[in-house]
Amino acid sequence: MRFRVTRTGMHLPDEIETADDLASRVGRSAKWIATRTGVAERRVSRVGMDVMAAEAARTALGDEPPDLIVNASLTPIQLIPDSSIFVQRALGYEGIPSFSVHATCLSFLVALHQVGALVSAGAYRRVLIVSAEQGSVCRDPSHPESAVLIGDGAAAVVVEPCPSGATSELLAWDMKTFPSGAHLAELRGCGTSRHPNDPTTVPADNLFRMNGPGIYKKAVLAVGRMVRRVCDKAGIEPGDIDLVVPHQASGPALATLPRFGLPEDRVVRIVHQTGNCIAASLPMALHTAVEEGRLERGMTVLLMGTGAGLSVGAAILRW
């Protein structure tokens, strides 16, 4: 599958919230927060994901509009219409096909695979994928373990056909979803099951909760196997990957990657300054790597992550 990520963009809200700021609100020490999550600070947005998405998208797009807008974010503005419409509106466009892809923290990666297939087939020629999350709205201070992980932010990429003579392509793809882990990370409300108007729905149903140790245990196993599979498919050893751009799940989660043969110094890490920005984390890390000059054309880059479900996904690209 031949396509190229031609441009990237990122937006971070101005407001910084440190572990100290959070400590009293969640009843834990700043040290506890830093140790458990590896997150020293995160941004908190007072505006919706559409505004953040548009900021990131404008950097990625420049002046030239896309021919498709794919919103790859978890936190919606409202249930109907879907968030891609509000992103297009915030960008000031009209008439551009738009829809959303939802795979929680893996939304960006899943969208990239789909968009790669569409571009590769000639269906679109300039696609905006944007992930923007205002997950701070859904933090539950009475559940510190989950609440202290989340941050707000946005990132965007433009996907175009690979120019003739260039080598950009998808070398391998792997994804698995294990519903046996469905209960490990949940926001039980905002749907038909615990509808907001149902008198039995309680406020905690509308906030995010995860079982950190449960996810960690299940994810480490699944991620290890996935790294092996996706590298086998690409015919490459983990140690030969030039750059690893993981979902920024948590500091401890990122610390496990070297045990799968991925060189620690090639893992892009922003979680200490951004928190877990759900689907936006991965493209934010990607943009950061591009900006820092860590990613050059021709390099092999492994994009990978985990998502509620429990899902694991990975793509190896020749950049």
CB of 198 to its own copies, least distance (A): 9
Q: What spatial distance separates the first Cα and last Cα of the chain, rounded to whole Å? A: 13
Nearest to 271 by CA among 57, 108, 36: 36
Annotated catalytic residue, options 11, 105, 138, 277: 105
Residues 6+ apart with CB under 8 A from 15: 43, 44, 45, 46
Using the minimum distance from each CB to its own copies, give the nearer residue, 37 or 311. Answer: 311
In angstroms, the CA 89 to CA 113 distance is 25
In angstroms, the CA 71 to CA 319 distance is 22
- Tokens read off for 83: 């968030």
Using the minimum distance from each CB to its own copies, give the nearer residue, 218 or 287. Answer: 218
Annotated catalytic residue, options 162, 231, 276, 287: 276
CB of 125 to its own copies, least distance (A): 13
User: 197 an active-site residue?
Assistant: no
CB of 48 to its own copies, least distance (A): 6
CB of 192 to its own copies, least distance (A): 4
In angstroms, the CA 213 to CA 45 distance is 28
Sign (positive or negative) of CA dihedral 131, 136, 142, 144: positive
CB of 24 to its own copies, least distance (A): 21
Using the minimum distance from each CB to its own copies, give the nearer residue, 124 or 319. Answer: 124
Using the minimum distance from each CB to its own copies, give the nearer residue, 102 or 294. Answer: 102
| Side chain identity, residue 231 | C
Match 């294990």 to its residue by tokens. Answer: 178
Strand 16-18 relative to strand 41-43: parallel, antiparallel, unpaired? antiparallel
In angstroms, the CA 287 to CA 267 distance is 14
Using the minimum distance from each CB to its own copies, give the nearer residue, 5 or 289. Answer: 5
Residues 6+ apart with CB under 8 A from 29: 23
Using the minimum distance from each CB to its own copies, give the nearer residue, 94 or 292. Answer: 94
Distance from chain centroid for Cα 93: 24
CB of 29 to its own copies, least distance (A): 27
User: 247 an active-site residue?
Assistant: yes
User: 183 an active-site residue?
Assistant: no
The residues assigned a catalytic role are 105, 247, 276
